[in-house]
A and B are shown apart, each in its own frame.
Chain A
Amino acid sequence: MADSTLKLKKLPDREPPENTIGWIAWIRDNLFSSATNTLTTLIFVYLFYLYIPPFIEWAIINANISGTDRSVCDTNKSGACWTFIKIRLEQLLFGLYFASNPEQTWRPIVAFSVFGMLIIPLVIDKTPHKKWLLIALLTLYPLLFICVVYGGVFGIPVSDTGQWGGLLLTFALSFVGIIVALPLGILLALGRRSEMPIVKMMSVTYIEFWRGTPLITILFMASVMLPLFFPSGVDFDKVVRAMIGITLFQSAYTAEAVRGGLQAIDKGQNEAAMALGMGYWRRTILIVLPQALKISIPSIVNTFIALFKDTSLVSIIGLLDLLKMAQNSSRSLDWNGYDIEGYLFAGFVFWIFCYGMSSYSQKLERKLDTDRRAE
């Protein structure tokens, strides 16, 4: 019997047909699969040919980067003037005060680098103890920021908020906005889902009020009316006024993001906690919020992106943020006429941050999505 057993031998896998793999097949499938497809490809290639080489020539090949004043750029007009950005870089990033006092420039640099050291491990998946890092970012970091950038302790000279500028100011405004707005927003979101009618009504009114008004009106209100709201003698500086306006505005948007997370939590979670005899705050803090906040991180990040872009509006009420700094520099006598470079640089800086954040939130969204599907 054993002799008649058929020995089955596995043949090696055959290669896929030549014309379905490799880059030729890819090009055919993605660029020339039909007549319309081919036509589209040709149109795009033509458009690229028209616009991309001149732009590269202007921005890279013919660009000026050497020298210390505008004479280099004025003699070679066919390329971009990155010299301007190079010379004004410290102003654009740290504002006038830190740029004009070279012995103080280390302060914003330290603030930015510590932030980078905290945020980079946070976005990497495998970092252990993320919770502690996050807590450090939300509590210790603001303290460090105040000590280093504002000064007044350890013999560091005070630099008033009015002296902050450039990317530093943009960063400070949005960081304060998100940090203070987060707890406010959580409370408002809980209020909006509360069963007490008056609490609910107040939260809804507050949220819809701020969401219905453009930020610029709120900033005007903050800069013109805030001093009127307080007894004379209490006065804030312009930057603090803007911070208050931005925080109130942002808390409404954060509240909506958190509400989305709260709605996604199964009712059973709350009921189970209730059955265990937990009170409202214990239920909320120990059971509901940890789950809801995790789900709402992507939307919170999205509101933060919007806020980061919107901080540029403070330039209208006369603060020297990154955008205003770029505009002022390209209107100064030294660099008059190089607006495009100034705006492109500011736009690029904003873009890097926003794009980074939005990629992160999209990644997170995808991850959360599969998590739920796997259950």
Chain B
Amino acid sequence: MKSTTIPLHRNPKLRSFVVQASLLLLVAYALFSVYQTTVSNLEERGIKTSTSFFDEVAPFKVGYSPFLEFKLGETTYIEVFFIGVLNTLLVAVLGILAATVLGFFIGIMRTSQNWLASKCALFYVETFRNMPLLLQIMFWNFAIFLAFLPPPKQSIEMGVFFLNSRGLHTPVPFIENHLLSTIWFGVIFASFVGTFVFAKWSKKRFESTGKSLPVFLISLSSIITVSYITFVILGSPLGIDIPVLGKFNFKGGGQLPLPLFSLWFALTIYTSAFIAENVRAGISSISKGQVEAARSIGLTRTQMVKMIILPQALRVVIPPTISQYLNLTKNSSLAIAVGFEEVVAVWANISLNQTGQALIIIAMTIVFYECCSLFTSFILNIYNKRVQITER
């Protein structure tokens, strides 16, 4: 038998090597020349790219920094960066919490049997997800809140929360007695560990004997009882700082300044519309047969929801919802339109204009967001792996 040899230019291995090598060279050359032009352009403008400006004092004021103290004339640029990052994370956490609650509520309303409720949810979703977020942020901040919220004296009272044209005043817990609070948190932690062990045990028992216990109810009530008893014995470990109306403004408590409040409000509404759609898709992805089968083997409604519907629905709901959390975090950069001091506003805009260090500043901003993005995909991968194992 005559063996045919492949001509050299048709050898797939060689071809793939040549293609990749030339591509690599091309990209490397392009990046290198862009880098060189950039450096020479910067030098032409008298800007020497270095990180020495990190320790210089920032000559502008950052109004809102609840976690790090800001002092005009002392705080350095690098501290301003961290203030920005923390503010971004703060609005992200607040937004994620509120958007999840609202989104699940709207999503469940969307699958309601009541025609009015489901159509209202549809209207909500279609209205808010089809308008630009920036427009919504500006609308709430400039056209509604700034124009219609009352001055501090006539604040809108919602329990211990006060809303006025300067923002939302909230109560803040603080630690009064370190020893007491340590003990208290210790006890609560121990009771959580206890319920965890109990849940494991009852699951094992269920698997071997088929006898089930209302684990959630028992755990919840035992945690509440334990914490209440410690509370009675030890007294309050935490003080709560409630805002009080002073002569001109509120004293004490925490404050979400109006830009942060509007941003939070708009982000919550916008993201919740997307989450609601995920929830609806999750619920309607469960086939009718699953429910019928669960009923026919005699599961109670709670059992059915807990063991049949939720695990399957959540598998569909959770991954896109986590991506929405990332979107929310990235979208919080629109704060610049209303003047909330998060990382893009305070770092990629003001600091950049002050120092001219475009290269380093933009790179750091991008790295921060890339970290958020990588963290999100890390969480998603873990979740997907866990789900895959349970899948047969």
On A, residues with C-beta under 8 Å from B are 30-31, 33, 37, 40-41, 44-45, 195-199, 202, 208-209, 211-214, 216-217, 220-221, 224-225, 227-232, 305, 309-310, 312-313, 315-316, 323, 327, 339-340, 342-344, 346-347, 350-351, 354-355, 358
User: Which residues in B have their C-beta under 8 angstroms from that of A45?
Assistant: 116
Of B41, B129, B337, B358, the residue contacting A316 (CB under 8 A) is B337
- Nearest CB of A to B340, in Å: 13
Closest to B136 in A: A347
A198/B116 in contact, CB under 8 A = no
A217/B38 in contact, CB under 8 A = no
B133 on the interface (CB 8 Å rule)? yes
A40/B23 in contact, CB under 8 A = no
Of B112, B130, B344, B373, the residue contacting A211 (CB under 8 A) is B373
* Residue picked from A228, A231, A305, A344, most chain B C-beta under 10 Å: A228
B348 on the interface (CB 8 Å rule)? yes
- In the assembled complex, the Cα of A33 lies from the Cα of B112 at a distance in Å of 12
0/1 per residue, B219-255, Cβ < 8 Å to A? 0000000000000000000000000000000000000
Closest to A346 in B: B135
Closest to A30 in B: B115
User: Which residues in A have their C-beta under 8 angstroms from that of B183?
Assistant: none
B23/A347 in contact, CB under 8 A = no
A-B contact pairs, 17 of them (CB 8 A): A30-B114, A33-B113, A198-B20, A199-B23, A213-B330, A213-B373, A214-B331, A220-B349, A220-B362, A315-B134, A316-B334, A327-B138, A339-B143, A343-B143, A347-B132, A350-B132, A358-B130
A44/B117 in contact, CB under 8 A = yes
- Nearest CB of A to B170, in Å: 27
- Nearest CB of A to B56, in Å: 20
User: Which residues in B have their C-beta under 8 angstroms from that of A344?
Assistant: 139
- On whether A313 and B334 interact (CB within 8 A), knowing A41-B114, A232-B41, A351-B131, the answer reads yes
B369 on the interface (CB 8 Å rule)? yes
Give the size category of B's interface with A. 35 or more
B127 on the interface (CB 8 Å rule)? yes
B139/A347 in contact, CB under 8 A = yes
Within 8 A of A (CB), among B112-126: 112-117, 120, 126
User: Which residues in B have their C-beta under 8 angstroms from that of A315?
Assistant: 134, 337
- On whether A323 and B132 interact (CB within 8 A), knowing A40-B116, A44-B120, the answer reads yes
- In the assembled complex, the Cα of A327 lies from the Cα of B143 at a distance in Å of 10
Of A37, A231, A316, the residue contacting B114 (CB under 8 A) is A37
B333/A214 in contact, CB under 8 A = yes
A214/B369 in contact, CB under 8 A = yes
Within 8 A of A (CB), among B324-358: 330-331, 333-334, 336-337, 344, 348-349, 352, 358
- On whether A312 and B134 interact (CB within 8 A), knowing A214-B331, A339-B147, A343-B143, the answer reads yes
Of B27, B116, B135, the residue contacting A323 (CB under 8 A) is B135
On B, residues with C-beta under 8 Å from A are 16, 19-20, 23-24, 27, 34, 37-38, 41-42, 44, 112-117, 120, 126-127, 129-136, 138-139, 142-144, 147, 330-331, 333-334, 336-337, 344, 348-349, 352, 358-359, 362, 365-366, 369-370, 372-374
B112/A40 in contact, CB under 8 A = yes
- Nearest CB of A to B355, in Å: 12
- In the assembled complex, the Cα of A327 lies from the Cα of B27 at a distance in Å of 42
- On whether A323 and B134 interact (CB within 8 A), knowing A30-B114, A40-B112, the answer reads yes
User: Which residues in A have their C-beta under 8 angstroms from that of B38?
Assistant: 225, 228-229
A217/B348 in contact, CB under 8 A = yes
User: Which residues in B have their C-beta under 8 angstroms from that of A231?
Assistant: 37, 41
- In the assembled complex, the Cα of A309 lies from the Cα of B333 at a distance in Å of 15
- In the assembled complex, the Cα of A231 lies from the Cα of B33 at a distance in Å of 10
- In the assembled complex, the Cα of A323 lies from the Cα of B142 at a distance in Å of 13
User: Which residues in A have their C-beta under 8 angstroms from that of B138?
Assistant: 323, 327, 343
Of B24, B42, B132, the residue contacting A310 (CB under 8 A) is B132
- In the assembled complex, the Cα of A208 lies from the Cα of B376 at a distance in Å of 12
Smallest CB-CB A-B distances: 6 pairs? A212-B373, A354-B130, A30-B115, A214-B330, A339-B143, A312-B132
User: Which residues in A have their C-beta under 8 angstroms from that of B129?
Assistant: 354
* Residue picked from B23, B37, B143, B358, most chain A C-beta under 10 Å: B143
- In the assembled complex, the Cα of A342 lies from the Cα of B359 at a distance in Å of 37
User: Which residues in A have their C-beta under 8 angstroms from that of B370?
Assistant: 208-209, 212-213
A347/B131 in contact, CB under 8 A = yes
- Nearest CB of B to A146, in Å: 26
- In the assembled complex, the Cα of A274 lies from the Cα of B132 at a distance in Å of 46
User: Which residues in A have their C-beta under 8 angstroms from that of B334?
Assistant: 216, 313, 316
- In the assembled complex, the Cα of A37 lies from the Cα of B115 at a distance in Å of 9
- Nearest CB of B to A106, in Å: 29
